[in-house]
Chains A and B, each alone.
Chain A
Amino acid sequence: MAETTDLSKGLPSHPEKATLEGKNKFLGFWVFLAGETTMFATFFGTYLGLRNGTGSGPEAADIFSLPLVFIMTMILLTSSLTSVFAMFAMKKNQFKKMKIWMWVTVALGTAFLGFEIYEFVEYVHYGLGFTTSAFASSFYALVGLHGAHVLFGLCWISLLLIRYNKSGITLTNAPKFYVASLYWHFIDVVWIFIFTVVYLMGIGG
């Protein structure tokens, strides 16, 4: 419990797991991510089953542009790294540093989302609408779901940063920042699979 932990010697070394609430959040969020993984796996399975069902519309190799996707991948990977820096800062009780790294994460995430929207608009111009073919539907469903997760993550982290702008790191908000960064890593891992399964296999295989 937040009130009963001895804080006279500063924060404990793992502030995110120092309280029972924090431990519960930590474990519960991992379980939640296990469920999310299964949900994404289902969308991946659907995409793999339908990626050749292009009907009369364009095929993957016709439209995917690797340079753009490469830039997006680099941006998202870097944002994961900056969230790691933020967590290091949190464990050292350097609140300002943590805030800065988290805001950098948000900025990179926003850039990624912007590129994704640009990408989708481009594809629609090439004649790949959501309703064009089963391939198109499953592509937009999978990548769009990932994009929705990015958007949710951005709103979530920004809200936390604004809410706790002046509070410093406490045993109450440390677990919140920690699970938000876990969520952000999860989004990143999913993107690596999307990059491989959707884009690399779409162009190469």
Chain B
Amino acid sequence: MVREATNTLQKSVLWDWLTTVDHKKLAVLYLISGTLFFLKAGLMAVFMRIQLMFPMNDFLSGQTFNEFITMHGTIMLFLAATPLLFAFMNYIVPLQIGARDVAFPFVNALGFWLFFFGGILVSLSWFFGGAPDAGWTSYVPLASRDYGGLGIDFYVLGLQVSGIGTLVSGINFIVTIINMRAPGMTMMRMPLFCWTTLVTSILIVFAFTPLAAGLALLMLDRMFDGMFFIPGEGGNVVIWQHIFWIFGHPEVYILVLPAFGMISEIIPTFSKKRLFGYTAMVFATLIIGFLGFMVWMHHMFTVGIGPIANSVFAIATMIIGIPTGIKIFNWLFTMWGGKLTFNTAMLCASSFVPTFVLGGVTGVMLAMAPVDHLYHDTYFVVAHFHYIILGGIVLGLIGATFYWYPKMFGHKLNETLGKIMFWMFYVGFHLTFFVQHILGLIGMPRRVYTYLEDQGMDTMNMISTIGAFVMSAAIILLVVNIVYSAMKSPREGGDPWDGRTLEWATPTPVPEYNFAQTPQVRSLDPLFYEKIHGDGTMKPAEPIGDIHMPNGSIYPFTISLGLFFAGFGFIMLNMENAIISPWIVIAVGGIITFGSMALHSVKEDHGYHISKETVEQMEKEVGTNG
């Protein structure tokens, strides 16, 4: 995965992975843990569909069903989609901008471990009396201390910890993209994936902090008897909804913008054409990012905010359709007249377009405040956001996996298995969710664990469940493909797709310093430019010399572990028979975290150098088998 120089090779494997600050290795860690959370939450979805297969089914109890809907949503958004996107952002963005690493390698590692321990904390809830059960939105008063069980505490503290991780990663990406670009890589020459990563990171900074505040309020309410959300003492439950959706709506764009970026990389490569309307794409991304903060109240049309507010937010919501439409047409025009290659990555990318449009159409339908009173909390909404999330984000992620897999792991995924997987996924997805539009329109409420027979819902629920089985089979096939390809696929060189952007100018496996000499960028799609106007290789912007690299560190791991203990300690405050005093656990966690931070701050670490001779030696090896 990464070609190491001498220093890293001397460490044991476990210690190396625990202390790594290499963006490529952290990407692999993100990919693995994100996939595991994805499989876990996907399994919950299958169980829920089995429960809804027949009317009055008793496969799951109502309580378990509630825990499953909550954990499915929470895990998929915070612990599966986000890290999977971060995996590609981490691996690809520094390569695409011609950087040796991210701006803050230490913070990058910290972001991963915080996410990881936060995810573990949320998942521990199953072993302490049940998972959170108030939905992924965790509305009060359902989640208040009087009604919500211990599971909600795990939700609050776990997401708090993993949210800090997401926030610091976002800051890191912003600074990386602004400060670390190679000479000649101006902002308007950056690949679109870098642009969407930048805008997503900005959204993270402004969206995850309100979430942190909201979760802190809920924590104070639940553990220290705060009165924020207790109406009897002057509190207000709608404040939670506002705070949650001020975070929650941008979160949708945080997830979908990187997927847009992935599609915008895959389609030009396999159309053998420059991305159509690059500038328009960039500005559409910026506008979507901005408007993403202006529409949160469309999740609350039925709360009773009043006709003026509802109208303003309805119109703002519909306006987002315009920049999104620009993107859709630009992808279509990129393909128009191109030399198209329909491999698995391109199949995912091109089918993303119509699927996402379907989700967008139902989105505009939902944006109409008066009619929304009919759709609200029905399966129509469920169908809508699954078209966005599965048809948008997951198709983008699968496409990106097939596209960047040879760069990350040195070989392609099998195309035959890939195409079968794609068609099963595509058919299964539409089978599952298309009928849910109709189910919603005839009145099936979401989040309810069963339904009566002979209300016209039996057949469509059965179809939906069958679709879910087909989709699961597709995901299993993807896992099979990964194992199969690891054994059978031939090794690939640095540029297996005849790529256009800088990541394909690096050898595979990528040396730990990425570029022996920082490349000089002369155009948008820099590698393709050199293939047409130069000799096909990037021109160096600096002479070959010693390369400065950051040292690995265990502190990101210990800082996160400390917060994990402290978070668990806070949860113990609400446990009835805790073995030791919660305050001891909180104190131990705090000492570990702040102690590690202080040690890191006090110890000056200037990193190490890879000598010029080693670099030349490594480049020679790369040349012979690359």
Contacts and interface: CB of A to CB of B under 8 A. Distances in A.
Interface string A45-80: 110011011110000000000000000000000000
Nearest to A38: B209
B485 to A, nearest CB: 38
B220 A38 contact: no
Nearest to A56: B233
A124 interface: no
B171 interface: yes
A122 interface: no
B171 A32 contact: yes
Interface in A136-159: 136-138, 141, 156, 159
B227 A27 contact: no
Nearest to A173: B604
B227 A35 contact: no
A120 interface: no
Interface stretch (B13-21, B210-218, B326-334, B344-352): B210-218
Most buried by A among B175, B210, B220, B224: B175
A36 B104 CA distance: 19
B205 A50 contact: no
A39 B213 contact: yes
A94 interface: no
Contacts of A38: 205-206, 209-210
Interface residues of A, number: 42
A55 B234 contact: yes
A107 to B, nearest CB: 21
Contacts of B548: 1
A176 B605 CA distance: 14
Contacts of B234: 50, 52-55, 133-135
A42 B213 contact: yes
Given A55-B227, A130-B224, A46 B602 contact: no
Nearest to B213: A42
A41 to B, nearest CB: 8
A133 B233 CA distance: 5
Interface stretch (B235-243, B512-520, B533-541, B559-567): B235-243
A5 to B, nearest CB: 13
A45 to B, nearest CB: 8
A141 B227 contact: no
A24 interface: yes
Contacts of B606: 2-3, 172
B225 interface: yes
A107 B239 CA distance: 38
B171 A31 contact: yes
Given A27-B179, A46-B217, A163-B602, A134 B235 contact: yes
Contacts of B180: 24
Contacts of B103: 24, 28
A35 B208 contact: yes
Given A28-B103, A53-B233, A55-B227, A34 B604 contact: no
A23 interface: yes
Given A43-B213, A133-B234, A141 B220 contact: yes
Contacts of A134: 227-228, 230, 233-236
Contacts of A46: 213, 217, 228, 239, 243
B214 to A, nearest CB: 7
A159 B602 contact: yes
B226 A53 contact: no
A24 B175 contact: yes
Contacts of A137: 220-221, 226-228, 235
A36 B209 contact: yes
A175 B205 CA distance: 22
Nearest to A152: B594
Contacts of A50: 228, 234-236, 239
A178 B301 CA distance: 46
B206 A35 contact: yes
A20 interface: yes
Contacts of A133: 227, 233-234
A1 to B, nearest CB: 6
A18 to B, nearest CB: 14
A35 B235 contact: no
A131 interface: yes
Nearest to B175: A28
Nearest to A141: B220
A44 to B, nearest CB: 10
Contacts of A138: 228
B322 to A, nearest CB: 26
Contacts of B543: none
B243 A42 contact: yes
Contact of A131 (B171, B227, B242): B227
B624 interface: no
A34 B206 contact: yes
Interface string B22-60: 000000000000000000000000000000000000000
B254 to A, nearest CB: 14
Contacts of A31: 171, 174-175, 205
A28 B210 contact: no
B553 interface: no
A46 B212 CA distance: 13
B474 interface: no
Interface of A: 1-3, 20, 23-24, 27-28, 31-32, 34-36, 38-39, 41-43, 45-46, 49-50, 52-55, 130-138, 141, 156, 159-160, 163, 172, 176
17 contacts: A1-B548, A24-B103, A28-B171, A28-B175, A35-B208, A35-B209, A38-B209, A46-B239, A55-B232, A132-B233, A133-B234, A134-B235, A137-B226, A138-B228, A156-B601, A159-B598, A163-B602
Interface of B: 103-104, 107, 167, 171-172, 174-175, 178-180, 205-206, 208-210, 212-214, 216-217, 220-221, 224-228, 230, 232-236, 239, 242-243, 246, 548, 598, 601-602, 604, 606
Shortest Cβ-Cβ A-B pairs, 3 listed: A53-B234, A134-B234, A42-B213
Given A38-B206, A46-B243, A172-B604, 18 more contacts: A1-B548, A27-B178, A27-B179, A28-B171, A28-B174, A31-B174, A31-B175, A34-B205, A50-B235, A53-B235, A55-B227, A55-B233, A130-B225, A131-B226, A134-B233, A137-B221, A137-B227, A141-B228
